Structure 1
């Protein structure tokens, strides 16, 4: 372990990295990947993914009002009666990953009771939208999906240049070419944590979101101010993840950890039930954008070690879904 890595492990806080050198405000053609600013940014991301698996990015080029618009529109959807929301529920055996997932339907930690959250998600494959109930939801979700896709692509391009020994620096980008089709599981997911039920309706050990690691390559997470997210340290114990205004939280998924032969960390994380009475009576909101490689792309150890058996990205995610639902 290098002194720099050792110091990061001691501090064990989610770092904040200025992403201005790769901001979406710049065209792809204007980026100089050999500049000191860009190379320094790639190194900082590499360090974060090796030590904790999470990093805040600032100055990344998606306006705050675009994020807030998504929050506001989905507030309207989640306020609808349950029977209306269920008309758009996620079909378990459908070819896409779309639709509404009801409260207590998911169990991200299979050892715990079901999660106290509900969600709506889209991978942009054909599915029914609540167009009458929340006009323009599809339009705005599609627009935001594109912003997240572009940002995540920049992050993965930086990862490809920061990871030592990677022969093709564009591998991560080139393996995610079919986003928005039925041949790729990349998904935009809006999460809604309603006010907590009475104490006697909460099961022992139940959380708003059970401990888990994300499934795919990377996740972009936009949070509100409510807090509650914790990241598990490799040495045990948890870190409270704060709200950082104007930042997006990026973390690694278990597919990426396997792909890098555990050089990168897919840290386990959870969302606790708030103890503050005021927060227990309020909603919590977040938006997650889950990046996945194209379904047919074969994931095998990048260092040639064969530490993990090769598997297609589609098979990998199907196995994860089978445990969750």
Structure 2
């Protein structure tokens, strides 16, 4: 991490951010390491995060069970069945950089997964101008335990995102709660992704159309930060400043965290979003479960005063996150 370009993604013990009464020296160390990783890499592995490995394994089993369902069952949740950009996207349904991605995925929102009282309260307070990222309330009928498992995972990752955001705020010299008023469950998203194996040079099956690029083409994330649980198959790569692709393999017991374009704009490029991609697995099924911890729909993102001065004036105009991310999603699907 010390040269002009990184050669590996750092591992950071974030335990001091998730315990109730951290040791001051340990907290300062974690915050310093987060700041350095955000400046120089844009990615880091979060260790000692407080979520049990048994619970992480249960989420994997739920993902495998969902993607093993017959196509007709998965297509009941097809993105496009509602007006929202949430639901199931079949193989070949997502496009990056003009090329078809080799994966299928399911995006889940929180409201419909909760108890009846919480759902009623959420619906009563829901904005009148329903937007394309609202919860469509789609769950697989064939997997009765799926909702419980994924909602527990959603809540755990949302809380973890808040603590990582607190660490980022501290690393910038801000109060640890600085980003909290900007966050909200309405756009945060738990996604399950399945990358089927594909032999090199093999033709894409119907109904996949267009040129197949990668498992997931090179991109930077749209939002604030992502918390990724990935399996041991491998394939995720991160681009360094020397334009070399650096592997970011599975490390047991960790989440892989990366920042997105909103954090880059907030910090006036001090914390830049990093390009990354996923290779197509050759002979094994690959599963990954990212959680996107996002600003709320109405949050206005503008360069922080602490990241600007006379020699480095604001580089971005204020941006309302909701309309921005809806526009991004509108170009991403078939």
TM-score class, shorter: 0.7 to 0.9
After superposition, residues 275-294 of structure 1 pair within 5 angstroms as: 280-294=282-296
Instruction: Please say if residues 88 and 128 of structure 1, whose CA atoms lie closer than 8 Å, have aligned partners that are also in contact.
Output: no
- The residue aligned with 1:49 is 38
Are 1:141 and 2:150 an aligned pair? Answer: yes
- Counterpart check, 1:216 vs 2:223: yes
2:88 aligned counterpart, secondary structure: strand
Residues in 1 aligned to 2:189 and 2:225: alpha-carbon distance in whole angstroms: 11
Task: Go from structure 1 to structure 2 and tell me whether the alpha carbon gap of 1:169 and 1:22 turns closer, same or farther (over 3 Å shift).
Answer: closer
Tell me the equivalent position of 1:59.
48
Does the aligned pair in 1 maintain the 2:268–2:316 contact within 8 Å?
yes
Distance between the aligned counterparts of 1:190 and 1:300, measured in 2? Answer: 31
The CA deviation at 1:323 is: 2.2
The CA distance in 1 between the partners of 2:257 and 2:276, in whole Å, is: 13
After TM superposition, list the pairs within 5 Å mapping 1:106-255 onto structure 2: 106-107=94-95, 109-111=96-98, 113-126=99-112, 127-164=136-173, 166=174, 168-176=175-183, 178-179=184-185, 184-196=186-198, 199-202=201-204, 206-255=213-262
- TM-score norm. by structure 1 comes to 0.86
1:73-116 deviation line (CA, Å, top 9, x unaligned): 12111111212211111238634x43111111111x223x2111
Which structure 1 residue ranges, 4+ long, deviate > 4 Å from structure 2? 202-205
Residue matched to 2:10: 15
TM-score for the superposition, normalised by structure 2: 0.84
Alignment of 1:103 onto 2:103: no
Deviation at 1:49? 0.5
How far the C-alpha of 1:9 sits from its partner, in A, is 3.6
Counterpart check, 1:318 vs 2:318: no
Contact kept, 8 Å, 1:12 with 1:52, in 2: the verdict is no
Q: CA RMSD in A?
A: 2.0
Deviation of 1:235 (Å): 2.6
Cα distance, 1:65 vs structure 2: 1.2
Question: What is the CA–CA distance in structure 2 between the aligned matches of 1:140 and 1:8, rounded to whole Å?
Answer: 42
Give the match's secondary structure for 1:324.
coil
d(CA) in 2 for partners of 1:198, 1:76: 26
Q: Are residues 22 and 57 of structure 1, via their aligned partners in 2, closer, same or farther at CA, if it must alter by over 3 Å?
A: same
Q: 1:8 to 1:245 in 2, by over 3 A?
A: farther
Contact 2:53/2:253, CA 8 A, preserved across alignment: yes
Deviation track 1:257-285 (CA, whole Å, cap 9, x = no partner) reads: 111111102101001124xxxxx232000
Which residue is equivalent to 2:27? 38
Aligned residues: 299
User: Could you tell me which residue of structure 2 aligns to residue 277 of structure 1?
Assistant: none
**Inter-partner Cα distance in structure 2 for 1:91 and 1:125:** 19
Distance in 1 of aligned mates of 2:81 and 2:300: 24
- Checking the alignment, whether the CA contact within 8 Å between 2:188 and 2:292 is kept in structure 1 is yes
Residues 53, 265 of structure 1: 8 Å contact kept = yes
Partners of 2:57 and 2:87 lie apart in 1 by 21
